Amino acid sequence: MIDPVVLLQELIRCESVTPQEGGALDHLEKLLTAHGFECHRLKFSDKDTPDVDNLYARWGRATPHLCFAGHTDVVPVGDRSIWSCDPFGGAIKDGQIWGRGTCDMKGPIAAFVAATLNFLAENKPAGSISFLFTGDEEGPAINGTRKVLEWLDKRGEKIDFCIVGEPTSREMLGDMVKIGRRGTFTGRITVTGTQGHVAYPHLADNPIPRLLTLLKTLDDLELDKGTADFQPSNLEIVNIDIGNTVDNVIPAAAHATFNVRFNDQYSGASLEKKLRGEMDALKIPYQMTAVTGGESFYTPPGKYSELLQNAVKKVTGLTPELSTSGGTSDARFIKPYCPVVEFGLVGKTAHKTDEHVAVKDVVALTDIYSEIIRVYCA
């Protein structure tokens, strides 16, 4: 039997600070190969981003095909001297396991790998089970999950249901499951004018008031009213940048940046169209560069959320809230291919100094994933 707590300690000891592999994927590949998984190490590169190592491992070829997705990369530890433990030590103290990546998300990885291997040791499921591990979730997310999925698609491999092990629990293990996340869109606007002396404004053309008019219009927009499962899309102005170091010059250009967290009423493209339409109506010349950092994802409540809710309830007694709150995750890349939900440990210490999780939560999470496998793959 695989002990998820021991596996978690082994993974914490791999210093896989993004985009370093740190031995974490090697360790998983060795373990899974020994248990009959077909493993593929997938290294991807792209311009201006680091090369990234990924691992796809599948047991069986039959359907339904359940996939667990997760990232072995972790964020940097920051100032190591203020950690009260070795961030890559995996020590157990006061009923907690300590170290970078314990909750985000080596803990869930240890839990679903242990749950799967222990299940396979005693059962022969009708379907197949796979793992999609990336080393590029905390980094630019260019050479990770998205490219692994494209690779799978080209091979004709179809996933029927995917669970991402992000730390979705808020206060207690099992209090929240994510069935969606908002998308993120960043716009950078430039308005140009003519530089000149403030004392002779008729010889210059100040772009700042026009930029402010554009920003006021954007800020006043009601993008939507939200939906039953999503809060309203929200635009925030995050920077106004004139770069003027003196008080007697009218600047030649003014810049501003805003970010929108948008729900499933928009795609990045439809949102851009809407915002440009609003600004074009003002007849103020501007340029905008737009970047959709991630589309939203949404798996409506139903079969898949119920499967998770029932498993969580059986192990913890809690019925998890189905939420779409928070930032983006790799589920945004998975949603075009199959239904996807996220469930993992309590995320309170994610990305923080002294990241840790309760040993009993790792054990309970393993039981929850086991129950999901038992019900879905039986």
List active site positions: 73, 137
Decide if 361 contacts 346 (C-beta within 8 A).
yes
CB of 242 to Zn ion, least distance (A): 36
> Using CA atoms, how far apart are residues 96 and 12, in angstroms rounded to an integer?
13
Decide if 266 contacts 245 (C-beta within 8 A).
no
Which is nearer to Zn ion, 90 or 193 (by Cβ)? 90
Nearest to 68 by CA among 9, 133, 21, 126: 133
> Using CA atoms, how far apart are residues 160 and 267, in angstroms rounded to an integer?
24
CB of 346 to Zn ion, least distance (A): 13
CB of 101 to Zn ion, least distance (A): 9
Which is nearer to Zn ion, 105 or 311 (by Cβ)? 105
Task: Count CB-CB contacts under 10 A for residue 238.
Answer: 11
Name the residues that contact Zn ion, by CB under 5 A.
104-105
Which is nearer to Zn ion, 12 or 105 (by Cβ)? 105
Which residue bears the tokens 């249901």? 161
Strand partners, 234: 261
Q: What is the DSSP letter of 233?
A: P
Which is nearer to Zn ion, 162 or 211 (by Cβ)? 162
Nearby residues of 321 by Cβ (< 8 Å), 6 or more positions away:
175, 176, 177
Which is nearer to Zn ion, 105 or 365 (by Cβ)? 105
Type of residue found at 363: V
CB of 167 to Zn ion, least distance (A): 7
Decide if 250 contacts 218 (C-beta within 8 A).
no
> Using CA atoms, how far apart are residues 215 and 279, in angstroms rounded to an integer?
9
Which is nearer to Zn ion, 104 or 371 (by Cβ)? 104
CB of 254 to Zn ion, least distance (A): 37
Strand partners, 185: 260, 292
CB of 166 to Zn ion, least distance (A): 5
Terminal C-alpha separation, the chain: 20
Decide if 129 contacts 160 (C-beta within 8 A).
no
Type of residue found at 41: R
Q: How far is residue 105 from each of residues 70, 115, 137, 355, measured CA to CA in Å?
A: 7, 16, 10, 11
> Using CA atoms, how far apart are residues 28 and 35, in angstroms rounded to an integer?
11
Which is nearer to Zn ion, 141 or 215 (by Cβ)? 141
CB of 369 to Zn ion, least distance (A): 17
Question: In which element (H, E) is residue 187 found?
Answer: strand 183-192
CB of 326 to Zn ion, least distance (A): 11
Q: Is residue 163 packed enough to be buried (19+ CB in 10 Å), middle (13-18) or exposed (0-12)?
A: buried
Which is nearer to Zn ion, 104 or 355 (by Cβ)? 104
Type of residue found at 19: P
